[in-house]
Structure 1
Amino acid sequence: MKILVTGGLGFIGSHTVVELQNEGFEVVIIDNLSNTTEKVIDGIVAITGKKPIFEKMDLRDKADVKDFFARHSDVSGVIHFAASKAVGESVENPLLYYENNINTLVYLLQELSQKPEAQFIFSSSCTVYGQAEEMPITEDASVQPAISPYGNTKQIGEEIIRDTAKVTNVNAILLRYFNPIGSHPSAEIGELPIGVPQNLVPFITQTGMGLREKLSVFGDDYPTIDGTCIRDYIHVVDLAKAHVVALQRLIGNKNEQKVETFNVGTGTGSTVLEVINTFEKVSGKKLPYQIVGRREGDVITAYANTDKANNVLGWKAQSTLEDGLASAWKWEQKIRS
């Protein structure tokens, strides 16, 4: 089966391409290279021995999307990662996020809705819950008003998919994942943000390498064990495998509803300072950091209840926080050597 992976040269996308190819799927990637490079393909080939089809394209161009599906009419499933994804940036530039994250989704679904059958896996996020009222967060938790435009695009995206599935042959699984970290154990692919990292772990590893003077910790006055925010950090390989399991569920007609939702996390919350301390342990490096003011758009605490993914989807995270940070550090050392 031919599967389209949008944003397939990005951090999560590239790891998912590896897992898809390892399971025997034919993969075609669309990526506009806004936050990655074509060299990622070399890493995918080094791991799997197979080269995915790659088309450089911006999904905001509706005519190009239409032309792609005309040329690749045998695409039977889509895993949709392509999106802008930084909370802080979305607050500063909301229109970029609405254009990039909403328009592209609509154009893809317009093409898929014309097929007799289509499987769609959506890269959603725990940000749809906002600041959840209870921990750990279950899929039944109420969706709070979004704290950031990024979070709002994920909420709107989910609604668009549900509305589309009601009246078309599209079946979908929404994967609400928490905080992906780490790299492939081979260190052939990993997280490679262009410019200043927006996520915690690449900023930590770059600081460990001396590329950044120090790490900024946004707030130490939250009502948590050490005053810093709590997140659920999931190894990117575990996350990638969840996408393959979800796709196989749809292909095998095992889904119980047209649209299903699953949390993808570890079920364990860690504070920012706990992550820093764990990195220092696995790397042997002392990490310089400073406490600064809170960052707009950040929730205090978010970690997953993963019972539904474990029991219904048949997926469970295998790696620890230490595993994720050690692999991220191995990757950082390789790309800087």
Structure 2
Amino acid sequence: MKKILVTGGAGYIGSHTVVALHAEGFQPVIVDDFSNSSESVLGGLRAIVGTDVPVHRIDCNDKAAFRQVFEREGDIAGVIHFAAFKAVGESVQKPLAYFRNNVGSLLVLLELMQEFKVWNLVFSSSCTVYGVPDQLPVTEETPTKPASSPYGRTKQMGEDILRDVDQAPGNQFKTVLLRYFNPIGAHPSGLIGELPLGVPQNLVPYITQTAAGIREKLTINGDTYDTPDGTNVRDYLYVGDLAQAHVVAIKRLLTLTWPVVETYNVGTGRGNSVLEVVKAFEKATGQALNYSIGPPRSGDVPAIYADVTRSAEQLGFRTSTSLEDALASAWRWQQNLSNE
């Protein structure tokens, strides 16, 4: 089995990608310091895949410790790099920590990949690189704009670094940049899912915690945006579909024989408003949700969703899970958490 390092592999998207890699015959190897994830995830992974997944508990910025991972694991076919801090608000409060962790860890990883001649990389990017787009849907050719947060700038810097590396004499890296939209949901088993530390920053875990009685109510931030119902519109895709996109990307890189940097949007190709998500959750679960309308949040993009033509035509990837099914899986995961 080809061995794939998954940095941040105990996180939300990372853990689902570990499952998808295993199902496709790869040997995923997790590299995670558990600063933004829980070791309880490992039990869920074991139950789903039927075996222990190798884990290296290290900080990706610790080059000496990370080098030992490459030495011990030996023949590594590729890397999927998730490991990053990801809270927009926190990044404004702690910009140095975000640049050190997100940009620093990528530099360490690239240096070690070069040292050990591991040339295949899938990089976790974000639709935040588009800022407030002038036209919808956004394609991969839509101009990127200065990000509104240090978090967003770390993703832009990551992409720029990888393109500059591609232009260096003698470069052998083959890289896929995946620009995610809004992942939601959980594994069908309900054994792994989104596990926010503290108050959720994302819509769906806040919805599920409100339905479970952990939060008193959901406050929708604004209903006067220039959208069909006045609430923000986003492209919500099922996390299991997003995980599969990483497997497809790794498979593509393993077939290529020349250096490349390819960029793909990963979304459904359609937008849903916050109110539509709330109503879809109520329909999918039978749970009435306590919510109210509050003031808009500063810096929120009114609407953004993906054009997924390139990922469909070049990667052969399309999402396949409905919004209601994704929300039902998130509720199943929340119920499992509440019953623990």
**Which residue of structure 1 aligns with residue 52 of structure 2?**
51
- The Cα of 1:254 is off from its aligned counterpart by 7.2
User: What is the TM-score normalised by the length of structure 2?
Assistant: 0.95
**Which residue of structure 1 aligns with residue 24 of structure 2?**
23
Moved more, 267-276 or 110-119: 110-119
Matched, 1:8 2:12: no
Q: Contact 1:147–1:298 (CA<8 Å) still a contact in 2?
A: no
| Residues 191-218 of structure 1, C-alpha deviations (whole Å, 9 max, x = no match) | 1111111111001000000000111212
| Residues 138-169 of structure 1, C-alpha deviations (whole Å, 9 max, x = no match) | 00000011111111111110011111233322
Q: Contact 2:120–2:250 (CA<8 Å) still a contact in 1?
A: yes
The letter for the 2-side match of 1:20 is L
Distance 1:162 1:296 in 2: 32
- The Cα of 1:294 is off from its aligned counterpart by 2.3
The letter for the 2-side match of 1:209 is A
Within 5 A, what are the aligned runs for 1:196-235? 196-235=199-238
Within 5 A, what are the aligned runs for 1:229-308? 229-253=232-256, 258-308=260-310
- The Cα of 1:115 is off from its aligned counterpart by 3.6
Q: Contact 1:117–1:169 (CA<8 Å) still a contact in 2?
A: no
Q: For 2:296, what is the secondary structure of its paired residue?
A: coil
Q: Contact 1:5–1:27 (CA<8 Å) still a contact in 2?
A: yes
The letter for the 1-side match of 2:129 is V
Distance 1:110 1:250 in 2: 19
Gaps of 5+ in 1: none
Distance 2:338 2:228 in 1: 35
- The Cα of 1:117 is off from its aligned counterpart by 4.5
**Which residue of structure 2 aligns with residue 321 of structure 1?**
323
Moved more, 111-120 or 12-21: 111-120
CA 1:296 to 1:73, structure 2 compared with 1: closer, same or farther past 3 Å? farther
Q: For 1:290, what is the secondary structure of its paired residue?
A: strand
Q: For 1:318, what is the secondary structure of its paired residue?
A: coil
Q: For 1:64, what is the secondary structure of its paired residue?
A: helix
**Which residue of structure 2 aligns with residue 186 of structure 1?**
189
The letter for the 1-side match of 2:14 is G
Distance 1:266 1:185 in 2: 19
Distance 1:179 1:160 in 2: 24
The letter for the 2-side match of 1:74 is D
Q: Contact 2:56–2:69 (CA<8 Å) still a contact in 1?
A: no
**Which residue of structure 2 aligns with residue 173 of structure 1?**
176
Distance 2:167 2:325 in 1: 41
Within 5 A, what are the aligned runs for 1:69-218? 69-167=70-168, 168-218=171-221
**Which residue of structure 1 aligns with residue 41 of structure 2?**
40
Distance 1:297 1:52 in 2: 40
The percentage of aligned residue pairs carrying the same residue is 53
Q: For 1:207, what is the secondary structure of its paired residue?
A: helix
Moved more, 278-287 or 88-97: 88-97
- The Cα of 1:180 is off from its aligned counterpart by 0.2
CA 1:162 to 1:149, structure 2 compared with 1: closer, same or farther past 3 Å? same
- The Cα of 1:50 is off from its aligned counterpart by 2.6
The letter for the 1-side match of 2:238 is H
The letter for the 1-side match of 2:227 is T
The letter for the 1-side match of 2:197 is I
Moved more, 172-181 or 48-57: 48-57
| Residues 255-289 of structure 1, C-alpha deviations (whole Å, 9 max, x = no match) | 8x610000000011011111111111112122112
User: What is the TM-score normalised by the length of structure 1?
Assistant: 0.96
Distance 1:219 1:92 in 2: 23
CA 1:325 to 1:69, structure 2 compared with 1: closer, same or farther past 3 Å? same
Q: For 1:75, what is the secondary structure of its paired residue?
A: coil
Distance 2:208 2:90 in 1: 21
| Residues 82-136 of structure 1, C-alpha deviations (whole Å, 9 max, x = no match) | 1111222222222221111110111000111224441000000001111111111
CA RMSD of aligned residues (A): 1.4
